[in-house]
Structure formats: C-alpha cells, structure tokens
Amino acid sequence: MDDETRWFFPRGDLAHDDWQTVVDGELDGWQHTGLRVGELVDGAELRLAPRQVERMVVPLTGDVVVEWSDARGGSGTVELAGRASVFEGPADVVYLGVGTEARLTGSGRVAVAEAPADQVLDVQVLRAADIPVEIRGAGRSTRQVHNFGTPAGLHAQKLIVCEVVTPAENWSSYPPHKHDESVPGTESRLEEIYYFESAVSRGLDAPGQADPFGMFATYGSPTGQIQVDQLVRTGDVALVPFGYHGPAVAAPGYDLYYLNVMAGPDPERAWLITDDPAHGWVRSQWESQDPDPRLPYLPSAAPKGPRP
C-alpha cells in the first residue's frame, strides 16, 4: 500500500453505517484521533455511542440539536446555530466528555471530532459569537482560523480542534511544519486529520461545471518517510501520522476549508510545531505585508437558528 492510498481518502472511501466519513482506531497505524462526518436530512438522526473518547460536535452546514447523557448521570439538550456553509464564519459547537452518548438531529451536515481519553469532563458549549476569528499570516499566506477547540479556548484532556478558511490563490498550513517529536517547550507529538471542503470563491459567478479544488502535501521528516501530494475536494480526508505537512493551497477561483483534529501521546495537551528549516524563513516576510483584505469571511446574511 503506497502513502497516497494509506493516508489520503477521497470522499466516500471512509463511509461506514450512517456516516459519510469515519476515522478511528480501526485504521491501521491510527490511534490518537477520530472524525465522523454525516448528513442530517429528511428527519434523519445520527447516534454517538458512549465510548472512551472526548468529542466536539461541529455543524458544517445547517443547525444541529444535540441530546446528550453523560457518564455522571447528567443529561440535556443543546441547540447549535449553524451556518449556510463553512465559508460563513464559525458555528456554535459543543464539547462532550468521555462516556457521553448523544443523538444528533437537525438539518445539513455535521462533523464530530474525537480523541481517546480517560478524564470525564463537563459538557461545554461555545457560541459562535464568542469564538475568536483569527487572521493568520499576511499577503498570499493569509488565512482565517477559528480556534474553538485549542488549548487556549477549550478545557479538554487530549482533543485539539480548529478550522481554517483559505481564500482563492492563498496558501495555508505554511510554512510546512511538523509535530512528531517530543521536545519540551518546542514541539509536541500529535496525529492530525484534515477534512476538506472547497467552493467557488465568494463573490464569483462560476458555470455549473465548475469543479472546486485545492492542493495538499505531506512529506518526510527525521521521524519517518511519507509522501502525499493530492488535489483535494469537498469530503476528502488526509491523515498526517508524522512528517512535514503543508502547504494547503486554494486554487484560483476556489476557496478552501479544512477542519483539523489533533491529539497525541504526550502528557501535556499542547500544539507545538517545528517549521521545515528550508522554508521557515518565509514567516519573516509577513512583517512587511498586509493581510488579505478579503478576510474575514463572516456570514453574508443574518444567521438563522437558535441564539444563545
């Protein structure tokens, strides 16, 4: 099995039961992170069984209702206000602790990020209005980051989650970087999942046969050899067990989105990276460049759905 087959999965290749995408420990060589993506249409529901994982429910499109029951005997219902698309700013999200079971209903498409854990933590709801929208980089390396599941914004044991929007012609996940060695204060060991979506760039009128895509790469580091160079489209998944990863490039005419799920074996929950020394110098160029004025991408119309 080559790296393209082992670590990159086109839309549909990871379908299982009611889910369009399932990444979990059943995949050979994968153990610290998980992802589920599913559709909530025509009255459908999706179930999350109580397992030894902590989770975050992220509406990709539409609104989601989460009915939950946790390991401590608590229960409740959370209404998550979603969005028209992943290019319309952040959505409400909810963290579910270890041993929590849940029933998801609503409309649209939903992602569930997972990480094996053993600490039972409380349910946490983060409303879209309270999620910081970070503009990272400058020039053609400008991207928009929603850090709702990072150590600074979420109390969790292992799980780190964020999402990134890259407008057409821009580069993100750049300079290429790695997090596959434990170097205290410098680098942490983290598996990473990239779930992609792509769409005609905001404000453009494209013909019906338009085929939105981006590009993504992973390559070897001292930890091991890996080589993935792929066109990516909506629903595709790239797994990064180790190695330098990036860039993620949005093609002209098309915006690129990805949801990142990270976790690893280190005792500290931290996102610490090391740039590829051949390319890390590019960061210094941002000091003399302006951020891309197209960002931030926020809702183009008044948001629908339940409010806080």
Q: Average pLDDT of the chain?
A: 95
Amino acid in position 246: G
What confidence score (pLDDT) does residue 303 get? 40
Indicate the DSSP class of residue 135. Answer: E
Q: How far is CA 181 from CA 68, 135, 226, 268, 273, in A?
A: 36, 28, 15, 13, 9
Q: How far is CA 248 from CA 47, 174, 178, in A?
A: 32, 7, 14
∠ Cα 188 192 196 (to 5°): 145
Token output for 218: 């992973």
Whether the predicted model's global pTM rises above the 0.75 cut: yes
Please state, in angstroms and rounded to a whole number, the distance separating the CA atoms of residues 40 and 279.
42
Q: pLDDT (tens digit, 9 = 90+) per residue, 110-147?
A: 999 999 999 999 999 999 999 989 999 999 999 999 99
Calculated CA dihedral for residues 156, 283, 169, 219, nearest 10 degrees: -70
What confidence score (pLDDT) does residue 305 get? 39
Q: How far is CA 215 from CA 24, 145, 197, 210, 295, in A?
A: 24, 18, 11, 16, 20
What confidence score (pLDDT) does residue 304 get? 40
Peptide bond into 167 cis (omega under 30): no
Domains of the chain: 3-284 (2.60.120.10)
SS3 state of residue 128: helix
pLDDT band of 4, cuts 50, 70, 90 = confident
Q: Which position has the token pair 């067990």?
A: 241
List CB contacts of 10: < 8 A, sequence separation 6 or more: 233, 235, 236
Peptide bond into 303 cis (omega under 30): no
2 has pLDDT over 90: no
Token output for 22: 């399932």
pLDDT cut 90: percent of the chain above it: 94
What confidence score (pLDDT) does residue 307 get? 32
1 has pLDDT over 80: no
What order of strands is seen across the sheet that includes strand 124-126? Answer: 21-23, 34-40, 108-116, 53-61, 93-96, 124-126
CB 194 within 8 Å of CB 238: yes
Please state, in angstroms and rounded to a whole number, the distance separating the CA atoms of residues 75 and 79.
14
Q: pLDDT (tens digit, 9 = 90+) per residue, 15-71?
A: 999 999 999 999 999 999 999 999 998 888 999 999 999 999 999 999 999 999 999
Q: How far is CA 39 from the centre of its chain?
A: 17
Beta bridge partners of 232: 214
Amino acid in position 167: P
Peptide bond into 296 cis (omega under 30): yes
Q: Percentage helix, strand, coil, to 5, in the chain?
A: 5, 45, 50
Mean pLDDT, residues 273-281: 98
What confidence score (pLDDT) does residue 306 get? 36
Please state, in angstroms and rounded to a whole number, the distance separating the CA atoms of residues 224 and 219.
9
Q: pLDDT (tens digit, 9 = 90+) per residue, 213-269?
A: 999 999 999 999 999 999 999 999 999 999 999 999 999 999 999 999 999 999 999
Token output for 297: 């991408």
What confidence score (pLDDT) does residue 42 get? 83
Greatest mean pLDDT range, 40-49, 194-203, 294-303: 194-203
